[in-house]
Amino acid sequence: MHKILISACLLGEKVRYDGQHRLLDHPAIERWQREGRLVPFCPEVAGGLPTPRPAAEIRQRFPILVNSRDGQDFTPAFLRGAELALEVARRDGCCCALMKADSPSCSNSRVYDGHFSGTLVEGSGLAAAELMRHGIAVFDETQLAHLIDFIAAQTSCAA
Ligand code: SF4
């Protein structure tokens, strides 16, 4: 049975930078969890960062640079977390991922601009980008309906 990698904070794990979670309360999530399809993963914690931790943003793409609000270089931890996300997704046979929107690790489409200005810009988080680069479809929590359709269309996932 194919599985779904999911941002751990969406499953209620208190792994966010502020020590909180972002539980996504939905019958589909409950069903997938009962079926054993969900693989919770937090790239930032897996990459070695503590919880709580300072908020971080992607400051630069080429070469990649991730800074915390207090000026620490989080780039190695973010890169390691992205590598591990792919490793875990492959190991557990994840056909897709459900990841937190607007996160510098997990977002599939937009992130904050790197200046802690509260401005969102186009671009994906490092872990989501790594998954997508290797053919794993990434949805965020605002796209849950699309993920439900995607899963239904994957006979191998639905089996
Ligand atoms: Fe959630 Fe992803 Fe941030 Fe971890 S890195 S707290 S899983 S959004």
Gap from CA of 48 to ligand 1 centroid (Å): 13
Gap from CA of 105 to ligand 1 centroid (Å): 7
CB burial string 118-131: b at 16+ within 10 A, e below: eeeeebbbbbbbbb
Q: With bands split at pLDDT 50, 70 and 90, how would you rate the model's confidence at 155? A: low
Is the CB–ligand 1 distance for residue 107 below 6 Å? no
Is the CB–ligand 1 distance for residue 75 below 6 Å? no
- ipTM exceeding 0.90, yes/no: yes
Q: With bands split at pLDDT 50, 70 and 90, how would you rate the model's confidence at 2? A: confident
Is the CB–ligand 1 distance for residue 3 below 6 Å? no
Q: With bands split at pLDDT 50, 70 and 90, how would you rate the model's confidence at 99? A: very high
Domain boundaries of the chain, sorted by first residue: 3-53+76-108+124-158
